[in-house]
Structure 1
């Protein structure tokens, strides 16, 4: 039977959702359900506390410590239904009955080796997602049939975990050329669809350079949300395995599809790579949800070109940039955090459609207010990412 020993491995440092620490109790303002947050590396889990009696069975939990968070914050955590009670080697799959304080439990009746093997076809079988609970919590669920296959039962609806389908978009970019200095050259467009059972959190994506080319033909790789042409996370360079790994969490709301374009910035000189043919393939998706779709997913190729002259833009520090780090008192207003200067080359005009800043310090989004971008004449309100780390503005009329 499943022993659950693997879950006792030390936690690795990873991405932490802003404002939510390991072990925090979180809920939304319009829903009484309370969850316990858990981090393992870059993975983010949440587990439902079944009832007030279960809550009170944990002496260290205090009602006054429950945090109210936004739905977007809650959605960054993946639901875990797997638990193991102290002193009990059995791992159970729990399911709460909707709109009640009762639920059922299935013993995951298989060996540890079988459990691990199931992870290759169903990522819900994840040792990292197993929570250790007390016996009062375990015994609050009625016994149901055993789970003996690589499918976790979801009776009652409350224990249902959403599935993710991954597929090449029909409008993926056509084969084209990639000249020197070109930015955001599209290679592969992928559709990620969450089932109606719930939102899906993608913990990481891995892209691999393929085709008859060398890694140096690609400057850096990026992910673009095609809904608003915004970049997801930071640019990544290819590693020794010809791969770029994107560690930022991406949330797909229930019943929706997010289209992501895998694109690249080209190096300043492509003379040594002219004629090489490059493709960028999605080779791995990390999520606690089950995945349908065949990897790798590869779009059309781009041929490296060294003769085309295209417009360029050089970006330097602007005159209003503070130039160094400062300590500011709470309440300071009208402070310039950053200033940029964009200079177009002589070949053609350059249009600026959007700008995004990465807030790389320890401050939370709640520590800043009224963040705006000014082009010298007009203020534009910045949009803040769900993790509070990116401030973006899209210009309705591009700045030329």
Structure 2
């Protein structure tokens, strides 16, 4: 993809860090407390005034009880928006976690270029680099400002990645699905997660109210569901099934069903079609961190025209949930949100 680099890409420079060193970030303004760390935490040694040379490096604590190094700030910011979740630990505790390796870019977020390789790559799961074969493909995947979505990766960190198949057409790479599937560094590296004992599911108090829906609109929110993991470990949702409900309703009003992380507004997995029994299944793993609540919005991508469904009042229900690792699901299913009224007099687009 030499031509990509000849069409105005301003080379992005970054500080190259030796492989024997760790990357340090300025997190002095963050309130940190030395508490026991768990899998999935961002950790650093609590600064005491006498350990300035070692107390600034930030690591990811994997489920294998090893710490993983962020090579630089750019790779860190593909996973986190800021440093507010960094937790301080004692130097003695830090020394119990051996270094497991480096963190690679979160899949789908940025493209990368190796300093001595003119090819531009998209990042897929577990640090797999896929050559973007043309400018047209880059535009289709990352927009007209694709050339501002490229980071340079030092040659010394190339060994963290593997090279996969090229992306010859935009359909060869689902950028959104790559990102949404990489729910954590544990998941991306295939480290697994420490399994908690239970997950509580309930209808969110702020689930969307009954309203009017028009045709040709995507990601219309129907039902908001909260998943709360027990405090003894992360819980992985293996699959969930949504069902189109409502006595005066037809499946045809929905082009597809979408599952949205309500906290980040990112889609989880791909759009799903309703089958002959009015259900759609999401099989993408979703990790709910220990002691936290993850909200998922069951949403509809509406048909281009609702003329055949005017006045119908469908709703979307969470019909079933399957968990991994022996965790127990607490809560009553199905969970159904409010119905929405189909309107055929207004269409978008």
When normalised by structure 1's length, the TM-score is: 0.40
Considering Cα pairs closer than 8 Å and 6+ residues apart, tell me whether 1 or 2 has the greater RCO: 2
More strand by share: 1
When normalised by structure 2's length, the TM-score is: 0.46
- Bigger Rg, which one: 1
More helix by share: 2
